[in-house]
Structure 1
Amino acid sequence: MASDKSPDSGTPSVGTELPDARPVAKMPARFPTWESLRWLFLFRLLIVVGLVLVFSPAVDDPLIARVDTALAWRILVVYAVLVLASGLILYARWPSRENQVYLAIFIDLVVFTLVMHAGGGVGSGLGVLLAVAVAAAALLMEGRFALLYAAFATVAVMTEQTYVLLRGEAPYAEFTQAGLLGVVFFALALLAHVLYRRVRAMEELVARRKVDIDDLSKLNAFIIQDMGIGVMVVDGERRVRLMNQSARDLTNVAGDHPGTTLKAMCPELDVWLAERVRPTAPQGGIIRVGDRDIKPTRQLLGDYRAAGVLLYLRDQQELVKEAQQIKLASLGTLTASIAHNIRNPLSAISHAGQLLAETRGLSPDDRHLLDIIRRNSGRIDEIIRSVLQLSRRNQVELQLTELVAWLETFCDEFRESHGLPETRFLLEFESPPISVEVDPRHLHQIIANLCENALLHGGQPDQPAQILVRVGRGQAAGRALVEVTDDGPGIDEASARDIFNPFFTTKASGTGLGLYIARELAETNGIRLQYERRHPRGSCFRLVFA
């Protein structure tokens, strides 16, 4: 079964497909941004406060000795109102950002020119305010407007100087200062233009790098989530920051809980880590979490404890199984060859026994011996078929299968073939329908083996076995599961550890391959087969779809 996961949960989920095309890099917002306009508004407020302090009657500044205080205060009152009004239109976000900058800079140029006039002209040094307005305009707007604003400021300064000169209130020498101010305006505009170009290029580079980093982060998340080994990242305060699906399965944790303490999530692992967090501490050891034996290893993310720890979690049963698979793989080819070579002489023995059974005048002892030959020949033939079938387990053809509908058909066939009433073989299911990807042939053999096993071992001495097949979803990860339950005496703990081993059987007539083949076929289809003893009696074999 495919787990229901959202691709947007902090960390990507297992089974989410990577996009086919590279996402287009989103360029930074065109200047000016609303954030930059807010900073411009605060800056203009500071200028208003500064000018109020400069033109305060309590200030005696010799540079602005010719100040017209009354005119300056009238200008500053109007300017303060205009600045506050710009805050309101900024809050309303009307008009557009560009138009708000145009309006603000134009007002600043006019007001600063009038303030310079009220302060005594170019000689007052207040012309530097125009330079501030030019620099702000060049940084906030596109570079081609920088020279235009510098030209406006230069014209304003020259106009002010000409006006003062015509009134006879300033010497000709201040024309030099006005000209130098104009040069400063244009130089400042050009420098701000270069700075603007570099800032834009840097913003675009950062945007492209951000897309690259996001792509790498998503790729790393996909790789980590699809790893068969459990991966968990714990910070210096023992809080879980990252956890892939395999780690959640091993620790029986449902969903993502970033920031949760390791002790609250998995106390056993927290105790293990506390003993091995030091760099010189030996690794190794096996911890028991639920019904699993887990072998954790740790990798420190730095030289100090605060740097955190990377934990790798491996299922000890899986490690043992891998070792067993290596042994069985080497025997697979040999057993298949032996099975083929045994089948021919076995057929000859079986056929000879049938011919001999047709002979007249055989004594009861002879017929008993022939019956032994027939039974054991059949048993050997069954073992050969199981071994050959097991060698072909990797030929999987996955199909989307609706479990309830498929099991209803299976249960009808099983009852009919074994002559069972419906009361002895029940099917219980939940709604809505549950669909999984599985090979129907393998699923049929798995559940048939489990039902045959329940029918054989699940009865009581005074009553036949009653079998219940249940379909539902697990509580931990919402995965589909199928349970085959009987009301028999159950399997003792000593035998429960070996029931999935090949050729293990408690019946003299059994082959010991039924449950082993069922588990091998289940794992081939990505299904986990578990056994659970029920209390006070009964056995439950559970198929958990991955």
Structure 2
Amino acid sequence: MTWSRSDPATDWSSLEHFSGESSALQRLWRGFMAARCFVAAVLLLLQALAMVLGQSMQPAAVALSAGYVIAALLAARFAPFKPIRGVGGAWLSTIGVDLVTFTALQVMQVGSINYTPLFALPVLMGAVLGTSAVGLGTTAAATLLLLAHATWFWLEQPTDTSPRFVQAALTGTGLFVVALLAHELARRLTREEAVAQRNRGAAQMHALVNDLVIETLSEGVLVIDAQGQVHATNPAADAILGQGLAELALPFALSAHPAWAPLAALAGQTFSRRTPQSKEIPVAQAQGTAREVRVRTRLTQTRDRHTESLCVMFLQDLRELEARIRTEKLAAMGRMSAAVAHEIRNPLAAITQASALLGEDLVDPAHRQLTTMVQQNAQRLSRIVDDVLDVARARQQRVLPLGEQIILDPTVRTLAEEWVQHAQRQGVLLALDATGSDVRFDVEHLRRILVNLLDNAARYAGDREGSIQITTRVNSAGRPCLQIWSDGAPLEPAVQRHLFEPFFSSESRSSGLGLFLCRELCERHGATIGYERRTLSPTGPEGNEFFVAFAAAETRLTQ
């Protein structure tokens, strides 16, 4: 990202769009207004002092000083600030009034009072708040007025008045020099303020971007100074470290909490060695066991020795890292398994066909038993191959087709009755309470999920009435749900953690792809699947329940 800078040779008039909003010029405007009020008060005070001292006074000079006080106060109170671009109202009400007043006082000069230095005020005001033409024009007007006064004095008193002409010329020259220098300084001030405002805007934008990036990082971030004070954190750091990190007021001492003492020690090592550090540290949690965290530190670069370096600490939960690695390995394994499954199908079909042909010519029961074993194991291998290929297809088809909406209760009833008839299972109860609930789900995919869950339930459930129960309902979030409950023994915690992972099964003769395929199909349709151990009634037995929460029928979801 690049930002353009002002050209140093830019004319004052080209900054018109900025000068009206310049806070520096506004402060100068207020300063000039205050200076005019002060000069007006001094002039009136000098007239009063001369009167007290008994000097001859001119009523016109007193009236002119009083009028100048009133004009200065009114301009300071009501005149709005805007850059002076020419001989207009702003110039006449301020600079014009000053030139006329000071010239009139100079003409009515009484005693030894010299009003010439006062011309510096309107000249500076025109040079600073106006364009170059306004500044030079105001200076030229003041110089001409001084020369005109010297000429008038020569006409009134035709003596040796050359000193007055020389004084007027020198004063005019000095005013031109002051005007040029003041104008250049004002231009530089305005340019630098414009650049500063643009740089401040860029810095604010970069700060907002940095804050957004840090806030959304999956890694935890802590910014620590050399004294061990934490100056910035992000939500990921609070999730990893816990212990109420987000509720602490910044800055706070990292070593104040005993669980974070190893982090503070690592930050201290980073500052002492001036090199990045990396370490895996167990961090105690408010609840549960300690969490293994990979900690990496970096020092910020400083451009001068007066700026203190900061230690930026990156925190990464090793469990999430291991989960990502495991997911990548499983994806690679799935691709390899799909390729192997394709290669197995043809020889497997040949084995099945050859076994069937061989069984037609066998008479010996022992030989027939052997061919039956071959056919049974070939069928088992065929099911495993189909499961592997189903998983591959489910992962490749990431976009959910529109399909058709299905009414949940009648569809579940039909599919459940088909399974009961095919499996010849007794004691299955249906409790369908999602009346009128439509869901967007492929019927064949729902059949595969329901059959898989019912097969698992039948493998571990008892034989009594109600040992397997199929229910539907609408949960508190308004999503239709399907639940398969069975009275089987509780699953071990190690089994629960890996229930929906591929190739994991507590049965030696299972491929371990059934529940994983169910999860893939649910995610494809925007549904969620889960497991919990619960009872269906306060007095009933505990059982294993698998539930599917469907997405709304109107929403088309993509994975």
TM (normalized to structure 2)?
Answer: 0.65
Instruction: Give the distance between the partners of 2:523 and 2:252, measured in 1 at CA.
Output: 30
Counterpart of 1:285?
A: 281
The answer to whether 1:146 aligns with 2:146 is no
Higher mean alpha-carbon deviation, 24-33 vs 152-161, is at 24-33
Query: 1:175-205 deviations in whole A, cap 9, x for unaligned?
Result: 2211112112222233334334444544554
Query: 1:365-422 deviations in whole A, cap 9, x for unaligned?
Result: 8777666544433332232233344456663544698xxx988567765553333999
Write the mapping of 1:255-334 to structure 2, written as runs, cut at 5 A: 273-274=263-264, 276-280=266-270, 283-287=279-283, 293=291, 295-299=293-297, 301=299, 309-325=311-327, 327-328=329-330, 331=333, 334=336
Higher mean alpha-carbon deviation, 101-110 vs 406-415, is at 406-415
Instruction: Give the distance between the partners of 1:250 and 1:444, measured in 2 at CA.
Output: 42
Determine helix, strand or coil for the equivalent of 2:351.
Answer: helix
Query: 1:441-486 deviations in whole A, cap 9, x for unaligned?
Result: 8x9969965884477349964431345587888xxxxxx9998765
Counterpart of 1:177?
A: 167
Write the mapping of 1:359-438 to structure 2, written as runs, cut at 5 A: 372-391=373-392, 395=396, 397-398=398-399, 413=411, 415-419=413-417, 424=431
The 3 A distance-change label for structure 1 pair 425 and 206 is farther
Counterpart of 2:351?
A: 349
Counterpart of 2:234?
A: 243
Q: Match of 1:177, as an amino acid?
A: Q
1:454 and 1:465 in contact (8 A); partners too = no
Determine helix, strand or coil for the equivalent of 2:166.
Answer: helix
Instruction: Give the distance between the partners of 2:150 and 2:453, measured in 1 at CA.
Output: 108
Higher mean alpha-carbon deviation, 297-306 vs 175-184, is at 297-306
Instruction: Give the distance between the partners of 1:50 and 1:509, measured in 2 at CA.
Output: 104
Instruction: Give the distance between the partners of 2:150 and 2:95, measured in 1 at CA.
Output: 21
Q: CA deviation at 1:49?
A: 2.8
Q: CA deviation at 1:160?
A: 3.7
Instruction: Give the distance between the partners of 2:144 and 2:415, measured in 1 at CA.
Output: 105
Determine helix, strand or coil for the equivalent of 1:511.
Answer: coil
Q: CA deviation at 1:52?
A: 2.8
Instruction: Give the distance between the partners of 1:53 and 1:422, measured in 2 at CA.
Output: 105
Higher mean alpha-carbon deviation, 273-282 vs 525-534, is at 525-534
Instruction: Give the distance between the partners of 1:114 and 1:356, measured in 2 at CA.
Output: 133
Instruction: Give the distance between the partners of 1:426 and 1:509, measured in 2 at CA.
Output: 36
Query: 1:266-293 deviations in whole A, cap 9, x for unaligned?
Result: x898566445442359742144767995
Counterpart of 2:148?
A: 159
2:431 and 2:469 in contact (8 A); partners too = yes
The answer to whether 1:191 aligns with 2:181 is yes
Instruction: Give the distance between the partners of 1:434 and 1:193, measured in 2 at CA.
Output: 76
Determine helix, strand or coil for the equivalent of 2:140.
Answer: helix
Instruction: Give the distance between the partners of 2:387 and 2:534, measured in 1 at CA.
Output: 29
Q: Pick one of 65, 71, 77 that aligns with 1:82.
A: 71
Q: CA deviation at 1:148?
A: 1.3
Q: Pick one of 8, 17, 31 that aligns with 2:19.
A: 31
Counterpart of 2:505?
A: 505
Q: Match of 1:418, as an amino acid?
A: A
Query: 1:68-125 deviations in whole A, cap 9, x for unaligned?
Result: 58655544433333233234435xx59998666423222233334345556659x745
Determine helix, strand or coil for the equivalent of 1:504.
Answer: coil
Q: CA deviation at 1:297?
A: 2.0
Instruction: Give the distance between the partners of 2:392 and 2:294, measured in 1 at CA.
Output: 33
Q: CA deviation at 1:511?
A: 1.9
Instruction: Give the distance between the partners of 1:371 and 1:305, measured in 2 at CA.
Output: 83
Q: Match of 1:510, as an amino acid?
A: S
Aligned residues: 501
Instruction: Give the distance between the partners of 2:364 and 2:373, measured in 1 at CA.
Output: 15
Q: Match of 2:281, as an amino acid?
A: G
Instruction: Give the distance between the partners of 2:416 and 2:174, measured in 1 at CA.
Output: 102
Q: CA deviation at 1:48?
A: 2.2
Write the mapping of 1:21-60 to structure 2, written as runs, cut at 5 A: 29-33=17-21, 35=23, 36-37=25-26, 39-49=28-38, 51-53=40-42, 56=45
Instruction: Give the distance between the partners of 1:97 and 1:305, measured in 2 at CA.
Output: 43
The 3 A distance-change label for structure 1 pair 95 and 316 is closer
Structure 1 or 2, whichever has the larger Rg, is 2
Runs (5+) with no aligned partner, structure 1: 1-20, 474-479
Q: Match of 2:326, as an amino acid?
A: Q
Instruction: Give the distance between the partners of 2:501 and 2:389, measured in 1 at CA.
Output: 17
Instruction: Give the distance between the partners of 1:83 and 1:287, measured in 2 at CA.
Output: 71
Determine helix, strand or coil for the equivalent of 1:279.
Answer: helix
Q: CA deviation at 1:234?
A: 6.2
Q: Match of 1:496, as an amino acid?
A: Q
Determine helix, strand or coil for the equivalent of 2:314.
Answer: strand
2:222 and 2:314 in contact (8 A); partners too = yes
Q: Match of 1:143, as an amino acid?
A: S
Instruction: Give the distance between the partners of 1:196 and 1:509, measured in 2 at CA.
Output: 88
Higher mean alpha-carbon deviation, 521-530 vs 415-424, is at 521-530
Q: Match of 1:378, as an amino acid?
A: Q
Q: CA deviation at 1:146?
A: 1.5
Instruction: Give the distance between the partners of 1:277 and 1:233, measured in 2 at CA.
Output: 10
Q: Match of 1:416, as an amino acid?
A: T
The 3 A distance-change label for structure 1 pair 393 and 219 is farther
Runs (5+) with no aligned partner, structure 2: 7-14, 420-427, 536-541, 552-557
Counterpart of 2:340?
A: 338
TM (normalized to structure 1)?
Answer: 0.67
Q: Match of 2:185, as an amino acid?
A: L
The 3 A distance-change label for structure 1 pair 56 and 305 is closer
Higher mean alpha-carbon deviation, 341-350 vs 154-163, is at 154-163
